[in-house]
Structure 1
Amino acid sequence: MNNSENTRDMVLIDTLLCKVEDECLEFKGNNIDPRIVGKLCSALSNSARIYDKNYAYVLWGVNDDGVIVGTDFNPDLSDNKDILKFKLAQKLKPSLDCDFRVVQHPKGRIVILEIPATTLSPVEFDGTAYVRIGSATPKLSDHSNKMQTLIGKLQVYVWEKEVAKSFLTSLKVLELLNYEVYFKLTDQSLPQSEVEILKYFEAEGIVEKDIGNKWNILNLGALLLAKDLNDFSTSLARKGVRFTVYNGNNKSETITNRLEGAKGYAMALEGLVKYINEILRKSEVIGEVFREVKTSFPQIAIREIVANALIHQDMTITGAGPQVELFNNRLVVSNPGEPLNPVDRMIDLPPRSRNEKLAGIMRRMGLCEEQGSGMDKVIYSVEAAQLPAPQFITSHHSTQIILYSYRPFSDLTTDERMRACYQHAVIKYIVGEGRLKNSSLCVRFGIAKGNESQATKVIKSALSKKLIKIADTESPRSGYWPFWA
């Protein structure tokens, strides 16, 4: 344990000793029975969430009246590791990242067990969930009011509010976070003092006060403004954006560029979009309407789908983060978690984000479009460049958005043509440009005059698959709407 951790634990112990045993605190002597400790972990984790605490605690070496008596319990002994820690890891579901720490307090040796509040579901030990009622540890199922409260709290659990790094001086907070970027992108004057900066950050939900006049950086602050995400937990570091370039059309090809993002999103997004555009080949996009030299993909489309991956990812899925992969024929952007809207309604429905604070700040920073106007601009820019229709895929607890480089109409598959037809109908509908028609679809695909029958075939196929519908049944030639209109 380093000096900073030891100092924090000393302050923490003294703070906890001023309390009595309650729903988030237990004092113990030398009892390390795995079943008793397991039940406590379940009960305290559930109760911490009920009472809006980040952690609950067990202190060995303290009497029930809060007097330090010291303890012989050593969590680092091989027997304790093999029996106690193994039992907890094996029988606590969902698993908890519990932390045993030994503290040589002036009044006696103490062991702290720091138990995080549950985030996904009630924590069970050996198949049973427990809760704290005062200092008692009954079954959660015997207290329906506690169960209802816990479920309600879990439904509104916000990952952004969890602590990323604790017990920091104000100076250390400002060393870890790029506060200049925050004030620049939000178009605010930089305050003249640390105190004023932290007031802004506290109001924004970027930091919170800790014990002993120290500060905690919350997940929102770390993910958005970290100078280096590796200064935080491994799970947070994995949320950095990874970018890989392949010299071909599949992952078996040679990797020519790789970027492991370590900066917070406020800095990473702009740099990544610029980096991608520098790598993209310049090519002449040939179409009936647009003939000009441009990058393979519209910059606004790249920005929006990368921002979408950052904002809408499921932060509770550990070990995974946003990923951008560039192949010769496509750009694939992936994020952990399935979308909250159906994939066939991602263009028109207002986005539903799991990370509202992150999304809100990124919009105010100008890092992405205003709510509800991002994905339609992606499709609009793709249509303007006469590129194949983007594809939205969800599988295995992840979401992919794929941008395809230019191919002529003759090289598109039937499914690609129908997908483009549907997306064209959606764009026409939501931006108020009228209805999908044969003539507008010809422009979208770059179909030359005299070949309008090609667009007609696509419309018929989309109708047969019920992707679009006739807008006015009394006037079938007046145009088409998306199926849900």
Structure 2
Amino acid sequence: MKTTIEQLNSFIRSAEGENLEFKQAKMQFDSEKLTRYCVALANEGGGKLILGVTDYPPRRVVGTSAFTNIDKTKSQLLDRLHLRIDMEEVWHSDGRVVVVHVPSRRIGRPIEYRGAYWMRSGEALVPMTPDKLHQIFAEAESDFSAQICDKANFDDLDAHAIEIFRKKWVSRTGNNHIEKLSAKQLLEDAELIIDSSITYAALILFGTRKALGRHIAQAEVIFEYRSTETSLPFQQRKEYREGFFLYYDDLWNTINLRNDLYQYQDGLFMISIPSFNEAVIREAILNAVSHRDYRFAGSVFIKQYPLKIEFISPGGFPPGITQENILWKQYPRNRRIAEAFAKCGLVERSGQGANRMFEQCARESKIPPDFSWTDDYQVFLTLNGKVQDPHFLRFLEKIGRERQVSFDSTDFIILDLINREQKLPQWAKDRALALVKSSAIERVARKYILSRKFYEFTDKKGVYTRKRGLDRETNKQLLLKHIRANEKAGSRFRELREVLPSLTRDQVQKLLAEMKIQKMIIVVGKTSAASWYPPGSGKRKNV
């Protein structure tokens, strides 16, 4: 596991979080503390501890003398934790750096050391809370939806719901043999009935209202509509306590009744975009049913407003899923339900549901799905229906046609973030470079902007100039203006960086070096004591 200088620099620029921990450790680092940090990182899903880098941003390499015998330290960690932890030395120009690669704990198995299951809390290491431990132990529990409901029988299932499932399964596979199966055999083949016993998945998908009330009343979806966000009473409420296949279409139709259209002109044509995209809404419903925690007593709530809709389902994210990795990581909490959905084509086994939601929102220039209100006890998804910039998709299609480039889900998400001037997450950095090559975006200092073509396409050339920033010669004139205004006292480097805050330290230094060669300025002093003056100021320049 070799870390390059480029990767190390990328880590240093990243925000410290669940997967990264930096310690200065210039002279030494306590081996007990190292062990506890490894435990904490493993308990949080794995990560890296980097020694020889300052703790706080802006971070820089200071070098470390800790753990000069890497192999011995690795052996000690293996003896203490029975976890294979890799360590390596990276020789940076500013000193030796030690990178500790910590793997994740096993599913449902937190790691204990010296009587505690360690986790990080800010700058401190603390024992895990009971709630966090319970969440980890719950990962190893069996699929609830595959469990048998002992008191249920086949008469608790609705025949019409089963036939809907059958038709969808035949439609997806083209296997006409499925049409000839008895209802019981059909569900046996789908593993929704096991040895003539009814699973909870079968009840959730096909159960009658009476059966759900008797066996699993929490398998209920409640829909409410309010005309304003401040309205306490609802204008409509529907309670769906029956098998999923009995209400899935009706629930969408109910939402679609108040699905306003946003219209905009595209040349000679009028384009309409609904506030709530059907594919996105249906995906959110499927997720709420298949990923909720049925051990919690609450119902799933869907709350619709004119310009947004909220999905609140009991239980936090499934184990290992976070807001940060939801785009590419999957863990079906109720696998038997998810497999039934996959059989009839409602979801993909590849787990691309979240990707499709984010991509479609980006395609329609809507704010991405928002999970920020999610906690350990509920998943809270907000979908916003307002179209932000209808010209955005037209530009992407134009670039794709001209360059013969197709954009995938990740590209749409990155482009949307740049269009809304949001910071790119670490996972997006490499892909952003490819988008620069395709002329979809441009890099300006430390940030990305949409390319000149977008602003020409939307007749907003002035906005492009503002976002692109000043050209090189104009930047020099700004620096010179400040230096002349402070001719007597001189200008320190810190002040000159404030003149051009969007440029990096190196970029400002290069401009000053060019200006010195061009005899536009002189410099007196060296390093941090240096000051810049205009020529003819009477100051003696460095030789």
What is the Cα deviation at residue 246 of structure 1? 0.6
In angstroms, what is the RMSD of aligned CA positions?
Answer: 4.4
Q: Does 1:257 align with 2:268?
A: no
Q: 1:327 to 1:164 in 2, by over 3 A?
A: same
**Structure 1: tracts of 5 or more residues without a match:** 1-119, 121-150, 210-214, 458-469, 474-485
* Residue in structure 1 matched with residue 529 of structure 2 by the alignment: none
Residue from 296, 299, 320 that aligns with 2:278: 299
* Residue in structure 1 matched with residue 309 of structure 2 by the alignment: 331
What is the Cα deviation at residue 372 of structure 1? 2.5
Residue from 182, 187, 194 that aligns with 1:208: 194
Letter of the structure 2 residue corresponding to residue 449 of structure 1: K
Q: 1:200 to 1:401 in 2, by over 3 A?
A: same
What is the Cα deviation at residue 428 of structure 1? 6.2
- Summarize deviations over 1:282-308 as a string: whole Å, max 9, x none: 2325799x9622210222111112212
Letter of the structure 1 residue corresponding to residue 307 of structure 2: N
Residue from 190, 199, 203 that aligns with 2:185: 199
- Summarize deviations over 1:294-341 as a string: whole Å, max 9, x none: 210222111112212222111221x21322111123111121121131
Q: Does 1:240 align with 2:220?
A: yes
Residue from 253, 257, 260 that aligns with 1:278: 257
Specify the SS of the correspondent of 1:391. Answer: coil
What is the Cα deviation at residue 249 of structure 1? 1.7
TM-score when normalising by structure 1:
0.51
Q: Does 1:163 align with 2:175?
A: no
8 Å Cα contact 1:261-1:268 kept in structure 2: yes
The whole-number CA distance in structure 1 between the counterparts of 2:332 and 2:365 is 30
8 Å Cα contact 2:280-2:356 kept in structure 1: yes
* Residue in structure 2 matched with residue 452 of structure 1 by the alignment: 464
Q: Does 1:217 align with 2:229?
A: no
Please say which structure displays the higher CA radius of gyration.
2
Percent identity for Structure 1 against Structure 2: 16
What is the Cα deviation at residue 179 of structure 1? 2.1
* Residue in structure 2 matched with residue 398 of structure 1 by the alignment: 378
8 Å Cα contact 1:424-1:436 kept in structure 2: no
8 Å Cα contact 1:223-1:265 kept in structure 2: yes
* Residue in structure 2 matched with residue 80 of structure 1 by the alignment: none
Equivalent residue pairs, number: 294
* Residue in structure 1 matched with residue 246 of structure 2 by the alignment: 267
The whole-number CA distance in structure 2 between the counterparts of 1:454 and 1:291 is 31
TM-score when normalising by structure 2:
0.46
8 Å Cα contact 1:269-1:367 kept in structure 2: no
Specify the SS of the correspondent of 1:166. Answer: coil
Letter of the structure 1 residue corresponding to residue 460 of structure 2: K
What is the Cα deviation at residue 182 of structure 1? 2.1
8 Å Cα contact 2:156-2:203 kept in structure 1: no
Specify the SS of the correspondent of 2:151. Answer: strand
Letter of the structure 2 residue corresponding to residue 217 of structure 1: I
8 Å Cα contact 2:258-2:306 kept in structure 1: no
* Residue in structure 2 matched with residue 184 of structure 1 by the alignment: 167
* Residue in structure 2 matched with residue 439 of structure 1 by the alignment: 450
Q: 1:167 to 1:272 in 2, by over 3 A?
A: closer
- Summarize deviations over 1:191-227 as a string: whole Å, max 9, x none: 557xx43233224232234xxxxx4321010111224
Letter of the structure 2 residue corresponding to residue 160 of structure 1: S
- Summarize deviations over 1:442-474 as a string: whole Å, max 9, x none: 969x975221367669xxxxxxxxxxxx9xx9x
The aligned runs of 1:36-435 (5 Å cut-off) are 155-164=140-149, 166=151, 168=153, 172=155, 175=158, 178-187=161-170, 188-189=176-177, 196-209=182-195, 215-228=196-209, 230-233=210-213, 236-250=216-230, 252-284=231-263, 292-317=271-296, 319-339=297-317, 340=319, 341-347=321-327, 349-393=328-372, 394-406=374-386, 408=388, 417=420, 425=428
8 Å Cα contact 1:442-1:448 kept in structure 2: no
Structure with higher RCO (Cα < 8 A, 6+ apart)? 1
8 Å Cα contact 2:262-2:273 kept in structure 1: yes
The whole-number CA distance in structure 2 between the counterparts of 1:236 and 1:431 is 50
What is the Cα deviation at residue 398 of structure 1? 0.6
The whole-number CA distance in structure 2 between the counterparts of 1:366 and 1:431 is 33
The whole-number CA distance in structure 2 between the counterparts of 1:431 and 1:415 is 14
Letter of the structure 2 residue corresponding to residue 301 of structure 1: V
Q: 1:343 to 1:220 in 2, by over 3 A?
A: same
The whole-number CA distance in structure 2 between the counterparts of 1:402 and 1:153 is 26
The whole-number CA distance in structure 1 between the counterparts of 2:350 and 2:148 is 27
The whole-number CA distance in structure 2 between the counterparts of 1:272 and 1:206 is 24
